[in-house]
Structure formats: C-alpha cells, structure tokens
Amino acid sequence: MDQPTRSNKTIACLSALIKIGDTEAYALFDSGSNTDSMVPEYANAINGPRIKLDEQITLQLGCVGSRSKISYGTRVPVDFGGLRGHVYFDQVNLDRYDVIVGTPLMNRHGIVLDFGKREIRFPGGHVIKAMSSLEEASLVSERKAGAKGKGRAD
C-alpha cells in the first residue's frame, strides 16, 4: 500500500492574525492543545507581565520523549472574535506561531473550528476567516526576512 499524498489543502491548519495587546499575533487554533500558549518574546513585546508559576507544568508533545517544562505565564489583553478582556497564556518556546489558542480558551468561550469553510466561529455570530496556505507562507517568509535583517550590521 502506498503512502497517501497529502495536499496543502488537506493538511492546512486554522490560523489567523488576532489582536493581542496593541498588535496582531500570528495564532494557531489547535483543538489538540490543552494549553493556551504564547512565546515569551511576544509577551515581552506587548509588556505582558511575567508570572512565575508555583510549580512547573510538563508540556507533553505528541511524540514519545518530546516534552518541555512551563515555568512562566502571562495575562494579556485580547480583542478578537468578540472576546475582550485579559486572558492567561502559558509562556512556551514555539517555533512558528506567536500564540496557540488551545482547548481551554476554545471551550471557555464556545469557539468552533470549521475546517470545511476554513473559519473560526465565536458565539454572537463573530467569524474569523483562517489564513490560506499562501497567506501563511508569505507571513512566515516576511518574518524570516525581517529576522535576518535585524541581525545585520549597517
């Protein structure tokens, strides 16, 4: 049996730019994540307070032996999909995204992921269209170019 072909359409995640603090964060909406996470650099950039956790939390990824520890969190203002207020995020070193919106926030606020329509739906009729694969690739490319530019001496 041959390995199935995976097209960009079938593997596309639901991500969007959402307002956190005074800026737009690149966010993955992840129904498999049992934590809401933010990279420490983003939390620092929006002046999110660094909250030291009383006990470290183990972050277990989907692969055997792939884990990390969460030592800090932050509580920052959000304004997206009709949600307004301060939200707690664990501070985690993420590779690609500024934020992962996981099941705690989605369950608490009734957020629904619609992969067929590529929408993130909120109570009250608010809808955020997920980014296309092309939009994501462009954003990631721009960020990589910006990061390289910051390291150059002028």
Residue-level pLDDT at 3: 87
Inside any domain, residue 53: yes
Count of domains forming the chain: 1
- Measured distance CA(58)–CA(16) in Å, rounded: 27
CATH code at position 36: 2.40.70.10
Residue-level pLDDT at 65: 67
Residue-level pLDDT at 51: 94
pLDDT, block means (10 residues), the chain with 154 residues: 79 92 95 93 95 86 72 95 95 92 96 96 96 91 79 46
Which domain covers residue 112, as residue numbers? 14-145
Inside any domain, residue 5: no
- Measured distance CA(75)–CA(132) in Å, rounded: 29
Query: pTM for the whole thing?
Result: 0.86
Inside any domain, residue 151: no
Residue-level pLDDT at 149: 67
Inside any domain, residue 30: yes
Residue-level pLDDT at 113: 97
Residues 6+ apart with CB under 8 A from 59: 35, 67, 68, 69, 70, 90, 92
Q: Which of 119, 122, 133, 56 is nearest to 90 (CA)?
A: 56
